[in-house]
Amino acid sequence: MEEKIIKTEYSEVMQKSYIDYAMSVIIARALPDARDGLKPVQRRVLYDMHELGIKYDKPYRKSARIVGDTMGKYHPHGDSSIYEALVVMTQEFKKGLPLVDGHGNFGNIEGDGAAAMRYTEARLQRITQEAFLSDLDKDVVDFFPNFDETEKEPTVLPAKFPNLLVNGSEGIAVGMATSIPPHNLGEVVDAVKAFMLDETITTEGLMKYIKGPDFPTGGIVTNKDELKEIYETGTGKIKVRGKVDIEKGKAGKTNVVISEIPYPMIGANISKFLMDVAALSESKKTQDIVDISNQSSKEGIRIVIELRKDADVDNFVNMLYKKTRLEDTFGVNMLAIADGRPEIMSLKQIIKHNVDFQFQVATRKYTTLLAKEREKKEIQEGLIKACNVIDLIIEILRGSKDRAMAKACLVEGKVEGIKFRSKESKIMAAQLRFTDKQANAILEMRLYKLIGLELEALINEHEETMANIYRYEDILDRRASMAQVIINELEEIRRNYSVPRKTVIENVAEAVYVEKKIEEMEVMFLMDRFGYARCIDIATYERNKEAADNENKYIFSCKNTGKICLFTNTGQLHTVKVMDIPFGKFRDKGVPIDNISNFNGEKEIVIAAASQTSLNLYRLIFVTKQAMMKVVDGGEFDVAKRTVAATKLADDDEVVSVAVLNEQKQIVLQSKDGYFLKFGVEEIPEKKKNAIGVRGMKLTGTDHIENVYYLCSGVENTVEYRDKSLDLHKLKAAKRDGKGTKIRV
C-alpha cells in the first residue's frame, strides 16, 4: 500500500483537536441537559439500574455491580466518576429530590466520604421510576448506539418535571461552568402549570409560585429583591445565611445554636467554620466565647456556641455573619445543554424547554398507544365477526388441507380445494374478507373463547378500546387536551412527592458588626535570636530590663494598634499587625515570626513605627553588602500589602542595614577586611525605593560591608572590634566613596 502524507498547519490541527475535546467535555460530560436535568453519567447510571431491574420495590444491589455494568455498557470513563455520580444522587443534603435510594454509608453533610462501592448498595427511588423511566417502552425518546455499538442508550430520559430546577446542578466544563440552585418540587410544578395555561407569563408571574431556591440544608436567602434579575438573566449571586437560635445556657450563660447552615457550607466547610470561630477567640476578636461544640447528628445540624453572661449576643451573631461562612454566597449560572448547545437560560426558558419536551414526549407516547389500540381494535373486530359465523369458520378449517389454504379463504375468499358441506357454505366463505392480522388471530383463537361470557368480555374490551382510541385521538388532535394530561401527571407527582419549603426567602439588612474599640497603649516588642516574638507591657519590661536585653535580639516600643515593619536581607518589607503578636507575660515563649508574616527563610532586620502610616514622618537609610547606599522617604512604604519590595538590589547583593534617619550626624561603614570609613549622613542622596543607590565605600577583591554604625553629637559610641574597644568618634572623617582607614589590631 502506497504511503500517503497529508500536509497541514500544526496550529489548525491543534485548534480542531482542542475544540473537539472541549465540545466533548461540554456536551458529553460536564453540563446537564435542559430537558431532563441530568448529566450523561447520571442518565446512564439510572438507565442501567432500570435495565438491571433494580426497582424501588426490589432488593438493593451492590453499588459495585451497578458501577461495573454502567462502565462496561455505557460510560467508559472510569469507575470513580460513575460511583461519585451515584453517591451524589443518593444524598438528601445535596439534592432536593434524591433519585437513588442508597443503603449503607453514602457520606454525610460534614464532608465524610462514602464507603467503597463494594460495601454500599442502591436501588431506584419510586419517583425516578415513575417520572423518569416509566415510558421508555413507548418510543418517547430516541436511542443511539453506545461507545462500542453493542447496546442502545437513550439520548435523554422522559422526565415529567423540570429536574434541572428541582435538583439543580453543578459542573465545570472547558471555559464554562454551571451552577443551578435546587428548588421546591411543589413550587416548580405550580409554575409549570401556570406557564402551560399562559405562555406569556413573566418572570415576576412565575415567581408568585417559585419564591426562590429551596436548599436541602434550609437557611435564609437574604436578598429577595435581587432574585428577579437573577431569574431573568440566569446569572447572579444569592446570599444565604445559616439559621441561628438563641437558647438559655447553664449558670445564666447564653447559647448561640446554629440549626441550619448555608448550602455552600456543606462538607469540609463545617470544620472550617468551627476553626474560624475558634480563631476569633484566639485572636482576641471576641472574648465572649466560653465553649464551642458540634452536636450534629442524623437528626440534623446543631452547632452550639456558649457565650459569657454579659455578652452582646446580637453583635456576636453579626460577627459570625461577617467573619465566618455562616453567611455565604451561592453563585448562579444557569447553563445547560439546550438544542445541542450550551446556553445560559432564564427561569422561564428552563420551564419552556421542559414543557416543549413534555409535549414532544406526550405526542410520541400517545401516537404509540394509539397505534397499539388500533391494532387491538382490528383484531377484536375480527374475532367478534368470526364468533358470529363460527360454524362457517369451523367448516373452513375442517375442509382445508393446510393453514395457508384456510388463511387464503378467510382473507381473500378463495374456496378452491376446501370441502364444504353445502353450496350455501361455499358461497358464504367466498364472501369472507378478514384482514391478515384478523385471520392470524382467528387461526390462533382457542375454543374457550366461544363461551358466552368470554364473548361478552371481548365485546366490552372492544368498547374500551374504542374509548381509548377516541381519547388518544383527542389528545393528539387538541393541544389543550394534551396539556391537561400533562398537568394531571404533574399534579399527581406534586401530591405524592412534594415537601414543605425549607429555605426562608426574605430581605435582610446587611449584618452590622461593631468591633469593640481596642484601648490604645504602648507595648514593648521582643524577639529572640530564634525568631520568637511577643509583646509585653512597659512596666513588665522595666522590671525585667536586664534579662530582656540579654535574651532578645530586637527590642523596641510600639502601639498595640500599629504595625511592625520587618525589612529583610533580600530587600523585602513584611508588615505584621501588633494585634497578631501574642501579648502576655515576660516568660511566655511567644510565636515564631514566620507564622504571622510572609517570611520564608529570610534574615530579618527590624525597625519599628507606632503605625505603618507614621513612616511618613521618617526617612530610612539602606546599606547593602556591596556598599550601595540611599535614603528613602518613609511614605513610600505606606502600602496595604503585607509584603512589598523595599529596595532594588544588584546581583549577589543583599541588605546589611536599615535604619531610621533621626538625629544621626555621621555614619561609619566597616568592611570584613577591617576598613572603616566615616562620613557625614548628608552625603547620602535621597532616592526612590526602586533605585539601587550610590556607592558608599570602595571595596577590593572579596571584601564587603560587615557592620554599619551611626554617630550622634554628644553621645559616646565605642564598639568591640577584634576583642578591643574602638571609639568611633576618634576615626578620621572622610568623604563618601573613599577606601577608608585600615584598623590594625
The Cα 353–Cα 338 span in angstroms is 8
| pLDDT over 60 (residue 613) | no
Mapping DSSP onto H, E and C, the string for 116-149 reads CCCCCEEEECHHHHHHHHCCHHHCCCCEEECCCC
User: Per-residue confidence at 447, pLDDT binned at 50, 70, 90?
Assistant: low
The Cα 624–Cα 708 span in angstroms is 10
- 365-399 burial, b if ≥16 CB within 10 A, otherwise e? bbbbbbeebeebbbbbbbbeebbeeeebbebbbeb
Mean pLDDT of 672-693: 91
Dihedral-angle region of residue 674 (phi above 0 means left; psi in -120 to 50 means alpha; beta otherwise): left
User: Residue 474 corresponds to which amino acid?
Assistant: D
Sheet order of strands, 604-608 included: 604-608, 563-568, 572-577, 643-645
- Asked if the structure places residue 330 within a domain, the reply is no
DSSP string spanning 662-725?
A: SS--EEEEEETTSEEEEEEGGGSPB--TTS--EE-B---TT--EEEEEEE-TT---EEEETTEE
The answer to whether 248 touches 306, Cβ cutoff 8 Å, is: no
DSSP state letter for 264: G
Indicate if 310 and 364 belong to the same structural domain.
no
Collapsing DSSP to helix, strand or coil, 554 comes out as: strand
Mapping DSSP onto H, E and C, the string for 461-502 reads HHHHHHHHHHHHHHHHHCHHHHHHHHHHHHHHHHHHHCCCCC
Indicate if 378 and 477 belong to the same structural domain.
yes
Which range has the worst mean pLDDT, 132-146, 255-269, 415-429? 415-429
Q: Let me know if 288 is exposed, middle or buried by CB neighbors in 10 A (0-12, 13-18, 19+).
A: buried
User: Per-residue confidence at 610, pLDDT binned at 50, 70, 90?
Assistant: very low
- Asked if the structure places residue 190 within a domain, the reply is no
| pLDDT over 90 (residue 615) | no
Q: What's the whole-model pTM score? A: 0.75
| pLDDT over 90 (residue 309) | no
Element spanning 374, H or E: helix 347-388
pLDDT recorded at residue 1: 54
Q: What is the pLDDT of residues 310-352, one digit of tens each?
A: 888 888 999 899 889 999 999 999 999 998 889 999 999 999 9
Indicate if 663 and 627 belong to the same structural domain.
yes
Per mean pLDDT, which of 81-85, 169-173, 434-438, 511-515 is the most reliable?
81-85
DSSP string spanning 408-457?
A: HHHHH---TT---SSHHHHHHHHT----HHHHHHHHH--GGGGSHHHHHH
The answer to whether 485 touches 361, Cβ cutoff 8 Å, is: no
Indicate if 292 and 417 belong to the same structural domain.
no
The Cα 138–Cα 10 span in angstroms is 49
Instruction: Report phi then psi at 336, rounded to 5.
Output: -155, 170
DSSP string spanning 320-359?
A: HHHHSTTEEEEEEE-EEEETTEEEE--HHHHHHHHHHHHH
CATH number at 250 reads: 3.30.1360.40
* Residue ending a domain, choose from 305, 325, 345: 325
Do β-strands 243-248 and 235-241 pair in parallel, antiparallel, or remain unpaired? Answer: unpaired
CATH number at 45 reads: 3.90.199.10
The Cα 66–Cα 172 span in angstroms is 25
- Alpha-carbon distance values, 76 to 146, 173, 174, 280, 537 (Å): 10, 18, 20, 48, 67
Indicate if 280 and 405 belong to the same structural domain.
no
Indicate if 474 and 530 belong to the same structural domain.
no
C-alpha dihedral sign at 609, 611, 613, 614? negative
CATH number at 391 reads: 1.10.268.10
* Parent domain of 666: 522-742
Q: Provide the domain count of the chain.
A: 4
pLDDT recorded at residue 399: 78
Indicate if 592 and 728 belong to the same structural domain.
yes
pLDDT recorded at residue 85: 94
* Residue ending a domain, choose from 159, 183, 198: 159
Of the candidates 576, 541, 569, the one whose C-alpha atom is nearest the C-alpha of residue 555 is 541
The Cα 212–Cα 207 span in angstroms is 7
Indicate if 417 and 529 belong to the same structural domain.
no
The answer to whether 425 touches 392, Cβ cutoff 8 Å, is: yes
User: Per-residue confidence at 497, pLDDT binned at 50, 70, 90?
Assistant: very high
The answer to whether 123 touches 63, Cβ cutoff 8 Å, is: no
DSSP state letter for 290: E
pLDDT recorded at residue 516: 66
The answer to whether 146 touches 74, Cβ cutoff 8 Å, is: yes
* Residue ending a domain, choose from 121, 142, 159: 159
- Asked if the structure places residue 517 within a domain, the reply is no
Rg (CA), the chain: 42
Q: What is the pLDDT of residues 59-117, one digit of tens each?
A: 999 999 999 999 999 998 889 999 999 999 999 999 989 999 999 999 989 888 899 99
Do β-strands 643-645 and 572-577 pair in parallel, antiparallel, or remain unpaired? Answer: antiparallel
Indicate if 289 and 378 belong to the same structural domain.
no
- Asked if the structure places residue 429 within a domain, the reply is yes
Calculate what percentage of the chain has a pLDDT beyond 70.
Answer: 95
pLDDT recorded at residue 580: 81
The Cα 622–Cα 629 span in angstroms is 6
Element spanning 661, H or E: strand 655-661
The Cα 526–Cα 543 span in angstroms is 14
The answer to whether 213 touches 181, Cβ cutoff 8 Å, is: yes
Which range has the worst mean pLDDT, 579-593, 607-621, 668-682, 704-718? 607-621
Q: Which three cell numbers stand for residue 659?
A: 535604619
Indicate if 359 and 492 belong to the same structural domain.
yes
Per mean pLDDT, which of 219-223, 417-421, 509-513, 546-550 is the most reliable?
219-223
Q: What is the pLDDT of residues 260-287, one digit of tens each?
A: 999 999 988 888 888 888 888 876 778 8
Q: What is the pLDDT of residues 552-576, one digit of tens each?
A: 888 888 888 788 888 888 888 888 8
Indicate if 48 and 151 belong to the same structural domain.
yes
- Asked if the structure places residue 563 within a domain, the reply is yes
- Alpha-carbon distance values, 494 to 191, 485, 721 (Å): 12, 14, 91
Element spanning 636, H or E: none
| pLDDT over 60 (residue 612) | no
User: Per-residue confidence at 49, pLDDT binned at 50, 70, 90?
Assistant: very high
CATH number at 660 reads: 2.120.10.90
pLDDT recorded at residue 452: 58
Indicate if 676 and 563 belong to the same structural domain.
yes
- Asked if the structure places residue 206 within a domain, the reply is no
- Alpha-carbon distance values, 84 to 78, 87, 118, 576 (Å): 11, 5, 13, 44
- Asked if the structure places residue 61 within a domain, the reply is yes
Q: Which three cell numbers stand for residue 708?
A: 554599619
Active site residues: 119
- Asked if the structure places residue 535 within a domain, the reply is yes
Mean pLDDT of 607-631: 75
